[in-house]
Amino acid sequence: MAVWLYKIAVKTGKFDIIRGSIANISEDQRLQLLLIGFCFNAFLEGAAGFGVPIAISAALLAELGFHPLKAAALCLIANAASGAFGAIGIPVIVGAQMGDLTPIELSRTLAWVLPFITFLIPFLLVFILDKWKGIKETLPALLVVSGSYTIVQALTIIVLGPELANILAALVSMGALTIFLRKWQPSHIYRVNKDEKVVEKSKYSLKEIINAWSPFYILTVIVIIWSLPGFKALFAEGGALHKTTLLFKVPFLHGEVVKTPPVAPAQTALDAIFKLDLVSATGTAILLAVLLTVMFSKNITFAEGIQSLKETCKELSIPVLTICFIMGFANLANYAGLSSTIGLALAKTGDVFPFVSPLLGWLGVFITGSVVSNNALFGHLQVVTGAQIGTSSSLLLAANTSGGVMGKLISPQSIAIATAAVQETGRESNLFKMTIYYSLILLLFVGVWTYVLSIIGM
């Protein structure tokens, strides 16, 4: 649904105005990197995910004069700040399901794990582009972007949950930096190739820009409504809309598998219930945003909107099918006791496991190419291990998610998308060499910080 909304924005021409208006804000490539490579990348990650943000952001930076392969590397690294909450928070939602948690419980734990990395990513991007000199010359802008994004993302995942974490943080940080740059500019304009002709700007009126962003304003408002406790209460037992939540017991599986010690304190029959949320699901909120966008857009018909849906389904058929197979295997592993057995073995590492925990997520994303698939694959394993060593399952699921995000920097799927976007297909190994170092450094930080949090009883 999120990708469909993005497709609608492209088909109506709104996305071209969004992209152009951002590129027009500054000619300094360090600031363009912050606006497009970081903020816009994060916004697209929250609104669409599935490789869309890296492809579009990298291609746009290349158009603005960045070295194509470096633009791809920078966008992959920038994605470390937003990858956990991609496509309206799906990775966190799936991770929470694996640990029998609510999405907001897991997202609140992530608020302890990720903010330090989120705050430092913009500094790292500018350092890669222009070393310490770049950080010194753009420090005020860096503080505005890092501070606003980190604070808004943290508050969102604590108060509302994971769905709008990237969208709200990106909108606020983009807006804050845009306003700030009207009053402040660096001492000199930085360009990678100083003699290169600056891309000619397209001028847009304020009305055009506001209208272009309208699909995402609508999305934000609707998802916020869907996240309110009062709205969620409508779907609880006894609520006015509770009958729109359908529960199906899986035949020959529900109650047939029993957990025994040491995996569980006592013999416990496992539920196998498929839950279908017809209205309360975030996807329904996005569907409503799409319908309203089409309804109020003058240059698209419902027939064209349906055609965009068909195109979206065709493009995502393989990724969705892959995720379905991985989810199927993950459930098979859980009900067959495979995850529990591996978890018991990993519990032998004892108190050191929280340090190792993110590595599983990192490997999971490297193998599957998706934080969602990684959480489905290793989420239950993390929970079982945590129960054996006395560590919070929420913390280990957060570590699995965070480690997975760092794995996106070197995931073959992500690298293939990035190189194709900047027309450097065939140079995947070069891009891998550019990102592996930063992926390992960030993974090490997540491991150490998770270990510290486990010691203090988080």
Taking only the tens place, the pLDDT of each residue in 106-134 is 999 999 999 999 999 999 999 999 999 99
Whether 451 maps to a domain, the answer reads yes
Instruction: Tell me what pLDDT residue 288 has.
Output: 92
Whether 274 maps to a domain, the answer reads no
Whether 337 maps to a domain, the answer reads yes
Secondary structure of the chain: what % helix, strand, coil (to 5)?
A: 75, 5, 25
The pair of structure tokens assigned to 376 is 């489905």
Place of tokens 């709205």: 231
Instruction: Tell me what pLDDT residue 147 has.
Output: 97
Instruction: Tell me what pLDDT residue 201 has.
Output: 61
157/333: higher pLDDT: 157
Residues linked to residue 274 through DSSP beta bridges, in sequence order: 248
Whether 218 maps to a domain, the answer reads yes
Q: With 90 as the cut, is the pLDDT of residue 445 above it?
A: yes
Q: Are 10 and 160 in contact (CB under 8 A)?
A: no
Q: Strands, DSSP E only, in 147-226?
A: none
Residue 378's nearest CA partner among 405, 343, 410 is 343
Query: How far is 49 from 56, CA to CA, in rounded Å?
Result: 11
**What number is the average pLDDT over the span 380-393?**
90
- CA torsion 122-123-126-130 (nearest 10°) is 180
The model's pTM: 0.82
Whether 251 maps to a domain, the answer reads no
Whether 263 maps to a domain, the answer reads no
Instruction: Tell me what pLDDT residue 99 has.
Output: 85
How confident is residue 403, by pLDDT bands cut at 50, 70 and 90?
A: very high
How confident is residue 199, by pLDDT bands cut at 50, 70 and 90?
A: low
- The overall average pLDDT reported for the chain is 88
Q: Is 259 helix (H, G, I), strand (E, B) or coil?
A: strand
Whether 390 maps to a domain, the answer reads yes
Q: Is 272 helix (H, G, I), strand (E, B) or coil?
A: coil
How confident is residue 1, by pLDDT bands cut at 50, 70 and 90?
A: low
Instruction: Tell me what pLDDT residue 313 has.
Output: 86
Whether 154 maps to a domain, the answer reads yes
Domains held by the chain: number: 1
Q: What is the pLDDT of residues 308-323, one digit of tens each?
A: 899 888 877 877 787 7
Domain that holds residue 183: 1-189+206-241+279-456
Residue positions counted in the chain: 458
